[in-house]
Structure 1
């Protein structure tokens, strides 16, 4: 049975309602912050990721941010930006950014649902999985640059290798 079959009628279903149902299905910890926003914790191999999904009816966009804490030494920040740009060159479904003030690495993505489009549960499930997968894939590269004294180019070899052999 597909995820969509769990929803009898999707005509008036709010995108965050779908996210909440998926969080319950996966047994993720979550908090429905507002009608249009949900925060949850998703366990990965390297760490637990904080995800927030928010619906913006004004621009008809479902926004996702996936964050994890990073506190690199000040002298490593330029290398972190370098590896971050290299990571972003390798992905198509979102982008990393570094929020220095909050000490967070952030994966961001916006799903545009213009014209009253409905989002399918499978799309949201894939969106969340892609965010966690990208974070898992590149987490070692970020760590190697920040703490392992590796160059961004060397660190990316690990990220490239991590893309193979995992399901």
Structure 2
């Protein structure tokens, strides 16, 4: 684990990896700054731990966020998994899910185009990270239903998106 040793206020903007390091440190999440352009952290979601990686491309002023829920898709499950993937991606406003061709790893990807200065605010950093974790949490059960519960993609998505009604 590394510490950022940098603290930012809500009004500060900073280099994206620096701002994310400060955010992760403030939340007590062990992280690793892999380079000046890449940072990795493990975050506990509602269903699983997620590996979150942020990669900064200064040439384009784009911050790409990858959230990996440690779900691997076996070859015999690729067809229903891709069908579910298409249905899930229709539900998203930001980012998308994909299955990496090498290793069959499920990944949520989102990119943020930063301004000309290439700086990230604390509010935006929090929003980007929270969106990734929330989307992984929201759809994790659907992937579980298809990959291990043998539900159809449509049934899996319906089951995963059921909202609880009433009071417990």
Contact 2:16 2:118 in 1 (8 A): no
Cα distance 1:90–1:7, how it changes in 2: closer, same or farther (>3 A)? closer
Q: Which residue of 2 aligns with 1:6?
A: 9
Structure-1 residue corresponding to 2:119: 118
Alignment of structure 1 residues 75-94 onto 2, 5 Å: 75-94=76-95
Contact 2:50–2:68 (CA<8 Å) still a contact in 1? yes
Judge conservation of contact 2:89–2:96 (CA < 8 Å) in 1.
yes
Q: Partner of 2:47 in structure 1?
A: 46
Give TM-score, length-normalised by structure 2. 0.87
The answer for the alignment partner of 1:104 in structure 2 is 105
Q: What is the TM-score with the length of structure 1 in the denominator?
A: 0.87
SS in 2 for 1:6: coil
> Are the equivalent residues in 2 in contact too, given 1:28–1:41 (CA < 8 A)?
yes
Contact 1:145 1:152 in 2 (8 A): yes
Residues paired across the two proteins, number? 160
More helix by proportion, 1 or 2? 1
CA contact (8 A) 2:10 2:123 kept: no
How far apart, CA to CA, are the structure 2 residues paired with 1:148 and 1:161?
17
3-state SS of paired residue (2:116): helix
Please tell me the root mean square deviation across aligned C-alpha atoms, in Å.
Answer: 2.2
Stretches of structure 1 that go unaligned for 5 or more consecutive residues are none
Alignment correspondent of 1:136: 137
What is the rounded CA distance, in whole Å, between the counterparts of 1:134 and 1:33 in structure 2?
Answer: 25
For 2:119 and 2:72, locate their aligned partners in 1 and report how far apart those are by CA, in whole Å.
39
User: 1:122 is paired with a residue of what secondary structure?
Assistant: helix
Runs of 4+ in 1 over 6 A off after TM superposition: none
Give deviations 1:119-142, integer Å, cap 9, x for gaps: 211111111111011001101101
For residue 103 of structure 2, give the secondary structure of its aligned residue in structure 1. coil
2-side partners of 1:71 and 1:5: how far apart?
37
Match for residue 27 of structure 1?
28
SS in structure 2 at match of 1:111: strand
